[in-house]
Amino acid sequence: MANDRPESATQLATQFARSLTRVLQTRAAQLGFSPGQFPVLIELWEEEGLTQRQLLDRVDVEQATMANTLARMERDGLIERRVHPRDRRAQQTFLTEKARAMRTEALTLAGEAEEAVFSGFRRFEKELLKEYMRWAIANARKL
């Protein structure tokens, strides 16, 4: 039986991330963005005018990944970048009206995706799992 092999936490985390990404991908495509763009949108919905460095720190991805994500978002009409008024080498990132308009529906779709993935979990089980995940992530960041 294929499921008889032992599963490591790494394998489970990878499978979970891939499964959630698939669910989000389907829902995000309806609105015109990708799952990789969603964390950037969330940060910019909270605070516009962030630099690429600030987004990197908040989203926790590689520099090249962020650069490519922002380029795609700009191409797709979700963001615009402007020269920082105090540091001409940096650019600030702002949402377009298109991206602002999709906020409510995008957050609703993400919530539905999370509910679908955690279907059958009791509230405390879901919260406990999330707490364990945050704890493991914090430990991994110390390495």
pLDDT single digits (tens) 75-115: 999 999 999 999 888 899 999 999 999 999 999 988 888 89
Tell me, yes or no, whether 76 and 106 share the same domain: no
pTM of the model: 0.80
Tell me, yes or no, whether 54 and 95 share the same domain: yes
Domain limits at 57?
A: 47-101
Closest CA to 106 of 39, 31, 12: 31
Find the Cα–Cα–Cα–Cα dihedral 116, 44, 25, 59, rounded to 10°. Answer: -90
Q: What is the mean pLDDT of residues 30-42?
A: 89
Tell me, yes or no, whether 79 and 119 share the same domain: no
User: What pLDDT sits at residue 32?
Assistant: 85
Distance CA 85, CA 82 (A): 9
Q: How many CB atoms lie within 10 A of CB 4?
A: 5
Tell me, yes or no, whether 63 and 85 share the same domain: yes
User: Does some domain include residue 38?
Assistant: no
Tell me, yes or no, whether 60 and 87 share the same domain: yes
The percent of residues in the chain predicted with pLDDT above 70, rounded, is: 96
User: Does some domain include residue 141?
Assistant: yes
* 5: three-class secondary structure by DSSP: coil
Tell me, yes or no, whether 119 and 134 share the same domain: yes
Q: What's the pLDDT band for 3 if we cut at 50, 70, 90?
A: low
User: Does some domain include residue 121?
Assistant: yes
User: What pLDDT sits at residue 50?
Assistant: 96
The number of folded domains in the chain is 2
